[in-house]
Structure 1
Amino acid sequence: MSLRFFVYGTLLPGEANHGPFLRGRTAAEEPGRLNGAVLYDGPGYPYAVEERGGVVYGELVTALPGSYEELLADLDRLEYYAPGDPRSLYERVEREVHRNGAGPPVRAWVYVAAPAVAARLRTRGKPIESGDWRLR
């Protein structure tokens, strides 16, 4: 099954990784939000850390037909080494994401902070209070 992607940082339109990774490879991009996560400053790039009560704002991205597998592999290479690899800064998880417009929430891939990174950010990190990387 091809899930959408929820992006909230450098993959957003106008940010550094949008052009190299997403431009020309998406069928749709629409505003969305991930409930149950807090956004932290990386520095340089953000991390969504799963925490009750938080909200992270970003975009729901739908891959162009025929480009899903390649896009998934490219985003995996950008975001992490491999599932469970201790060098990984992120892990890819399937979560419910709410669309800001009308319609029910959808299941999407989200790259969240890996457990060791999340623990460090919870104790010493700088939350982005708005939950929106573009407003940092």
Structure 2
Amino acid sequence: MTSVDRPESVGSALPFFVYGTLRPGELNHGLFLRGRVAAEAPATLADAVLYQGPGYPYAVARPGSAIRGELITPAPGRYAELLAALDLLEEYEGPGRPGNMYDRVVREVLLADGARVPAWVYLASPLVARDLAASGTEIPGGDWLGQ
């Protein structure tokens, strides 16, 4: 697997790397993840930075940087439901769609024990990422909860 794969190339259920309002203790964690998650673990996503959004962050690919978040493993039998709910929350309509706020891609995340795990990550869509790079506010240290 490459560092970024399109959803069509992945045939199995994957965990999700979350870095903003879906993290434990945040509003959307309770609304979207409660009862749908089997496990949560601190994790790091390399080659990405965070930008401030209107009440939530955007992750943008950038070599040499890293962001902190959580690896969320869906509960048995809840994967499809969780995937659909998160796609709706993140305004992801499908690969390459012009209305996407985020693109859902597969990236490798690093767990505290050194394990590397492929996971779904919602990165800012190319148009959003371009605007953020031009005039956005980067979150220092790559941790939305630590800002």
Q: Normalising to structure 2: TM-score of the pair?
A: 0.89
RMSD of the alignment, in Å?
A: 0.9
Structure 1 segments of 4 or more deviating over 2 A? none
Alignment equivalent of 1:58, drawn from 52, 69, 76 = 69
Q: Is residue 2:96 matched to residue 1:87?
A: no
1:97 is matched with which residue? 109
- Report the 3-state secondary structure (helix = DSSP H, G, I; strand = E; otherwise coil) of the residue aligned with 1:134: helix
- Report the 3-state secondary structure (helix = DSSP H, G, I; strand = E; otherwise coil) of the residue aligned with 1:17: helix
Gaps of 5+ in 1: none
Q: Provide Cα deviations, 1:72-109, integer angstroms capped at 9, x if missing partner.
A: 01101111241222221101000000002x14200000
Given that residues 59 and 124 in structure 2 are in contact (C-alpha distance below 8 angstroms), is that contact kept between their aligned partners in structure 1?
A: yes
Q: Normalising to structure 1: TM-score of the pair?
A: 0.96
Gaps of 5+ in 2: 1-11
Q: For 2:37 and 2:115, how far apart are their aligned partners in 1? A: 21
Identical-pair percentage? 57
Alignment-mate amino acid for residue 65 of structure 1: P
Q: CA deviation at 1:2?
A: 1.1
Alignment-mate amino acid for residue 32 of structure 1: A
- Report the 3-state secondary structure (helix = DSSP H, G, I; strand = E; otherwise coil) of the residue aligned with 1:74: helix
More strand by share: 1
1:74 is matched with which residue? 85
Q: Is residue 2:118 matched to residue 1:134?
A: no
